[in-house]
Amino acid sequence: MDYEVIIIGGGPAGIFAALTLADLGVKRVLLVEQGKDLPQRDHQNPEERLCGWGGAGAYSDGKLTISTEVGGVLTEFMEEKDLLQLLEVTDGIYADHGAPDRVFGEYTPQLEDLADRARLADLELIPDRIRHMGTDNCLSILGRFRESLAGRVDMATETTAQDLITEGGSIRGVKLSDGRKVSANFIVAAPGRSGARWMKEQADQLKLTTRATSVDIGVRVELPAPVLKEITDTTYESKLIYYSKTFDEKVRTFCMNPYGEVVTEENAGIITVNGHSYARKKSDNTNFAILV
């Protein structure tokens, strides 16, 4: 075998898989990323915002949510207490690599008061702890992860995994865009959002069962920061849920950015909006999304 493990995708899942394997002493690990290496990425180029070492989150506002209440369906696959322990470990690794010390959303009388007032307005405030890194800190923190892996994991950037190679009912390697066919005892496929179509095609070829996640639609709202200051000072990002009276539709707030800015994003020719917030640079506004 060329490698013990091949990891497809240089986003957070791939990076943490590589870091864990390296810390466990696994010697022959290859990380394959279709985009550019971290120092060469250009956030002005729409094609490079989603792909590249560090993943789509490299240019995000860098929120780490330390809660099992939001963010996915992992509780379907493991006990909640085990998931929370993993979240705490992951958060600690980010902190070791330079994430800011402050964690928002810890239980306080102010947080309980906000939750009570939300209930009076037929809203549910979801408690969650958040460590905010800031868009301006994400690249430097990812750079420290890159340094932690240097010399311990082989990295192939600007290289696409074209096909998974099967043998005897098992996946034994990867065909790469540079013409190589590399073998491994284990393959970790974590291609992220930009590789979702490829992952579905590979799963279909392997006759694996897949499940599509739901798609939310909504709008991004921007307000003068003082309007939401009491909330953002306490929770940083409030997760509020409302159920409509007529159809019982779930409406929720998402991705709140105190003193941040609204930005445009382009993906596959479609222009959308997103929100960022910085650790050092502040605007006069706060923005958030309302999703259905």
CATH T-level fold of 1-62+133-213: FAD/NAD(P)-binding domain (3.50.50)
State yes or no: pLDDT of 19 exceeds 80: yes
* SS3 assignment, position 26: coil
pLDDT > 70: percent of the chain: 100
Confidence bin at 266 (pLDDT 50/70/90): confident
Q: Taking Cα atoms as reference points, which of 64, 58, 62, 4 lies closest to residue 33?
A: 58
State yes or no: pLDDT of 55 exceeds 90: yes
pLDDT at res. 239? 93
Tokens of 219: 């709008």
* Predicted structure pTM score: 0.91
Please state the domain extents for the chain. Answer: 1-62+133-213
| CA angle at 173 for the pair 172 and 174, rounded to the nearest 5° | 150
pLDDT > 90: percent of the chain: 77
Using CA atoms, how far apart are residues 188 and 204, in angstroms rounded to an integer?
Answer: 17
Confidence bin at 169 (pLDDT 50/70/90): confident
